[in-house]
Amino acid sequence: MAKYLVTGAAGFIGSSLIRALLERGEQVRGVDNFSTGRRENLSEVMKEIEFREANILDLDAMHSACKGIDYVLHQAAIPSVPKSVLDPIGSNRANADGTLNILVAARDAKVRRVVYAASSSAYGDTPTLPKQESMIPDPISPYAVAKLASEHYMISFFRCYGLETVCLRYFNIFGPRQDPSSPYSGVLAKFSMQMLRGDEPTIFGDGETSRDFTYIDNAVSANLLACSAPGDQCAGRILNCATGERITLNQTFEALKKLTGYKGTVKYAPEREGDIKHSLADISLAQKHLGYKVLVDFETGLRRTVAWYKNQRQPVGAV
Ligand code: UD2
C-alpha cells in the first residue's frame, strides 16, 4: 500500500482526491491551513486519514508531513486570478513559495513522485486553440505567473535532484464541493448556487468568453494516472488536464437555467482584470503518456454538480 500526502486536503479538489484514494485502499495524510479549504469537505473521511493543520509555507511542518510518503499530490493554493491581481505577493507566497517548500521537503524525504495542480492560465490569451503543452507560455495575471513558476520549479527538481515530478495543467475544474461562497469562486459553483437561490448571476464580458470546463472526476483520474504511470512516460512533464471541448459563459447560463429552474435574467459587467478570453486544451499528450481519458463530459458533470448543490440541506455559504 502506498502512502499519499495531499496538500490542500480540505479544498474541493484535494478532498475529492482523498475520497478516491481511500476507495482504492490507500493510506492518506492530508495538510491544510483552511485558508480556502473547508472542514466540511473532510468531515466524512477525517477518521480515515491522518490530518495535520499546517501551512505549506512552514518548511519544518512540510518536512515532517513528507516523512514516509510515496506520492505527494500538491493541490494547496490560492486559486484565483482576481485575488492575485489584488494581492500579488499573497498569491506568490501560496502559489510559488509554497510549491518550492513542498519540493524541498519531498526531495529531502525521498518521496517517489510529486504531482502538481498547475493551471491553464499559464497559456495566457494567445490566439491559437487548442492549447498544446509545447506552446510558449504567456501568463497574464500574477496567479498565472506564480503557477507557471511552480511548474518550472517542479521540472528543475526533476533535473537537478532526480525527484520525479508531473505538472497537470488543470483547465477550470468544477464539481460538487467547490466553494460557491466567495466573490473569487469558480464561475460554475457561483452560478449554480446563485441560480438555485433565484439570485441574478453576473457575466463579466459579453458572455462569449469560453472555457474547457472539466468535471472533477477527470482531474482525480489524471492524478491517479500521474502516480501510476511509468517514470519514463511522465516524470519532468507538463500535461493538460481537460476535456478538449469549450463552452461559453452564455451557454453555461442557458444550461444552468434548465438544470436549476431559474427564470430570471443575467447581468453583464465589464471583463475582469487578468481574464483570458478563450481556453481549450489539446489532451493528446496526457492520453499518450498517462492513458488519460475523459470519464465525465461537461453536461453530465454539470447535472451532477447542480444535483449536489440542490441536495445541500443548508446552503454552503452566502453568495
Ligand atoms: C483560472 C484558470 C483555471 C484555474 C482557476 C483557478 C484560465 C483559463 N483558467 O480560471 O484553470 O487555474 O483560474 O481556480 O486561466 N466569471 C463571470 N461571473 C462570475 C465569476 C466569473 O462571468 O461571477 C467569468 C470570469 O470573468 C472568467 C470565467 O467566468 O471569464 C471563468 O472564471 P473563473 O473564476 O471560474 O475561472 P478562471 O477562468 O479565472
116 noted as active-site residue? no
Q: What backbone torsions phi and psi does residue 129 show, to the nearest 5 degrees?
A: -130, 150
Q: Is the CB of 13 under 6 A from ligand 1?
A: no
Q: Of the candidates 238, 239, 245, which has an alpha carbon nearest to the alpha carbon of residue 292?
A: 239
In sequence order, what DSSP letters do the residues of 219-256 get, joined into one string? HHHHHHHHHHS-HHHHTTEEEEES-S--EEHHHHHHHH
Q: Is the CB of 190 under 6 A from ligand 1?
A: yes
Cell triple for residue 123? 497559456
From the alpha carbon of 144, which atom of ligand 1 is closest?
15
What are the C-alpha distances in Å from 220 to residues 33, 117, 126, 234?
22, 11, 28, 16
Q: Are 56 and 11 in contact (CB under 8 A)?
A: no
- DSSP secondary structure code for residue 130 in this structure: S
From the alpha carbon of 170, which atom of ligand 1 is closest?
11
From the alpha carbon of 212, which atom of ligand 1 is closest?
8
Q: Is the CB of 171 under 6 A from ligand 1?
A: yes
From 74, 167, 172, 305, mutation site for ligand 1 pocket: most ligand atoms within 8 A of C-beta = 172
Q: Is the CB of 92 under 6 A from ligand 1?
A: no
Query: What is the 66 CA–ligand 1 centroid distance (Å)?
Result: 32
Q: Which residues contact 160 (CB under 8 A, 6 or more apart)?
A: none
From the list 4, 143, 153, 292, the catalytic residue is: 143
From the alpha carbon of 121, which atom of ligand 1 is closest?
15
pLDDT at residue 197 in the model: 96
Q: Is the CB of 249 under 6 A from ligand 1?
A: yes
Query: What is the 65 CA–ligand 1 centroid distance (Å)?
Result: 31
| Nearest protein CA to atom 31 of ligand 1, as residue | 187
Helices and strands, counts by H and E, the chain: 12, 13
* Cα angle 31, 139, 55; round to 5: 15
Assigned superfamily of 3-174+214-242: NAD(P)-binding Rossmann-like Domain (3.40.50.720)
Q: Which residues contact 217 (CB under 8 A, 6 or more apart)?
A: 175, 295, 296, 301
| Nearest protein CA to atom 33 of ligand 1, as residue | 186
- DSSP secondary structure code for residue 131 in this structure: B
From the alpha carbon of 169, which atom of ligand 1 is closest?
11
Three-class SS of residue 137? coil
Q: Of the candidates 298, 309, 313, 319, which has an alpha carbon nearest to the alpha carbon of residue 254?
A: 298
> Residues of 238-255 as b/e, b for ≥16 C-beta within 10 angstroms?
bbbbbbbbbbbbbebbeb
| Nearest protein CA to atom 28 of ligand 1, as residue | 187
pLDDT at residue 1 in the model: 80
Q: Which residue has the cell 501551512?
A: 55
pLDDT of the chain, 319 residues: tens digit per residue: 899 999 999 999 999 999 999 999 999 999 999 999 999 999 999 999 999 999 999 999 999 999 999 999 999 999 999 999 999 999 999 999 999 999 999 999 999 999 999 999 999 999 999 999 999 999 999 999 999 999 999 999 999 999 999 999 999 999 999 999 999 999 999 999 999 999 999 999 999 999 999 999 999 999 999 999 999 999 999 999 999 999 999 999 999 999 999 999 999 999 999 899 999 999 999 999 999 999 999 999 999 999 999 998 555 554 4
| Nearest protein CA to atom 4 of ligand 1, as residue | 172
Query: What is the 272 CA–ligand 1 centroid distance (Å)?
Result: 9
For the chain, the structural domain boundaries read 3-174+214-242
pLDDT at residue 314 in the model: 55
